[in-house]
Amino acid sequence: MYSICAKCQVRKMLCGLPRCPIEERIRAVKSSLLKIRGREVFGATPPSAVVGEAGWPRVRVYIGEPPEVTGEEARAYDDPRLLWGRELEEILRLRSYMVFGYAAQTSPRKLGELPLLAVSERPVDVEMRLAKTPVESLKFDLREKPMGPRAPLEALRIDGNPAVPRALDKLMSDDLGAGAAAVELYRRGVDLYTIQRAFALGLLGARHRRRLVPTRWSITAVDVAIGDALAQQVRHMPEVSQPLYGYAEYLDNRYLVAVVPGPLRFYYLERWTYAGRVAEIEVAEDPRGVRSTMDGGYEAARLAILEKLASMGRRGTVSIVRWIGERYYVSVGNWQIRETLRRLQLKPLDENYKTYTALVGKDPISLIKNTKRLDEFL
C-alpha cells in the first residue's frame, strides 16, 4: 500500500479508498498545531491516557486532550461507545487532532494527579505546558491506535476535579489483587474502559506491587480477568436449546458468530485479506478455559459474547469468524471488536446463514471439533 502512496501523491487515489488517509491525518494534525499557544495546550481530556511499552519498566505515560475543546464535547474524541459507528477516517481525524503530553516514569506514585484524570467519569479541563514544540507523527501501525502530536510534559494544571468512581476510589486504597479488583469494579458497574485505564496506570492491585502496565497489555489482562469470571458463571448455566447465530460488520470487519448446544468452549478464526490472499489466525479454548494461544482480539470478542450468554442465562459452544478487509488499513483498537459484538443479536439458524458464511469465507460451525462432556475435564 505504501509504495502505491509514493506513486499516487494524493492525486490519483490508487489505493481505491474514498479519501486519502494520509491527507486526512495531516489536515487534522495541522489543525491541532494551529490551536496550540506556543507550548501551552488547553482543553479537556476525554479522558485519554496511554501507557507505552518501549523500555518497560520505565515507560512513557501519555495524557491527551483536543486543543480548545472543553466539557462534554471532548468525550467524543476517545470514548469507544461514542466512536463506534463513525467512519474510519473520522476516527483517525479525531484521534490525530488530540495533543499528547508525556512523562517517562517507572512508578505510578511519581505521576501525581495524572492517573486520576485518566479514570474520571467525565472530561476534565486541563492545561498542559510542553517541554518543546509537539512533533508531527504519522504512523500506520495495525497494533496501535493512531495518536496526534506529542511532546514531553513540563507541567500540568488541572482546572476542575476528576470524578473518580466511588467503587474505584475505595479499591485504590485496598490490597486486592489487580485482576480480582478489575472483576469487582465490573460487577459494581464501573465502565470497562475506565477499569482498563486504572489497571494500566497502576491504581489497582497489592499496594507494594503496583506497576505501570503498557496499555495494550492492560486491555487484554482486564478482558481476560472479567471474561474468566463471566465464564465461571456461564459454564454452569443450561445449554442453548438450538443452534444460534449472529452477524455484524463495522469498519470493513465482518463477524459471524455461532453458538451450538454443548459445553462452554470457544473457537475463533481471524481471516486477513489483501490482494486476493488470506492469512489466518486461529484460537481455541477448551471447557477448562485453557487457550491454544493468547490473542487480544480473541479476548475482546470472547468477553462480548460471554456478556451476551450471561444475559440470556445460557451456555453453549461458541465459534467466531472475523473477516478483515483491505479498507481496515489502520487499527483503531480492540474496542471496535468488543463494541461491534456487543451489538450483535443471536437468533436461530435461517436461510440467511449461508449468505453470511459466504461473506466471511468460512462456516463457523465447521470449526467446532468433536467435543467431550464437561465432566470429563473435572
User: Does the pLDDT at position 17 exceed 70?
Assistant: no
Q: What beta strand segments (E) does the chain contain? A: 40-45, 49-51, 59-65, 99-105, 124-130, 150-159, 244-250, 253-260, 265-274, 277-285, 317-324, 347-348
Any idea what DSSP says for residue 372?
A: P
Residue type, 224: V
- pTM attached to this predicted model: 0.90
pLDDT number for residue 321: 98
Neighbours of 7 (CB within 10 A): 9
Tens digits of per-residue pLDDT, 208-232? 888 999 999 999 999 999 999 999 9
For residue 161 the three cell numbers come to 476535579
Classify residue 126 by burial, with Cβ atoms within 10 Å: 0-12, 13-18, 19+. buried
Q: How confident is the model at residue 64 (pLDDT cuts 50, 70, 90)?
A: very high
- Give the mean pLDDT of the chain: 89
Can you tell me the mean pLDDT for 317-337? 93
pLDDT number for residue 306: 98
pLDDT number for residue 243: 97
The pairing of strands 99-105 and 150-159 is parallel
Beta pairing partners, 282: 269
pLDDT number for residue 356: 98
- Residue whose grid cell is 470514548: 79
Tens digits of per-residue pLDDT, 80-128? 999 999 998 889 889 888 899 999 998 888 898 899 999 999 999 999 9
Which range, 143-157, 263-277, 311-325, has the best average confidence (pLDDT)? 311-325
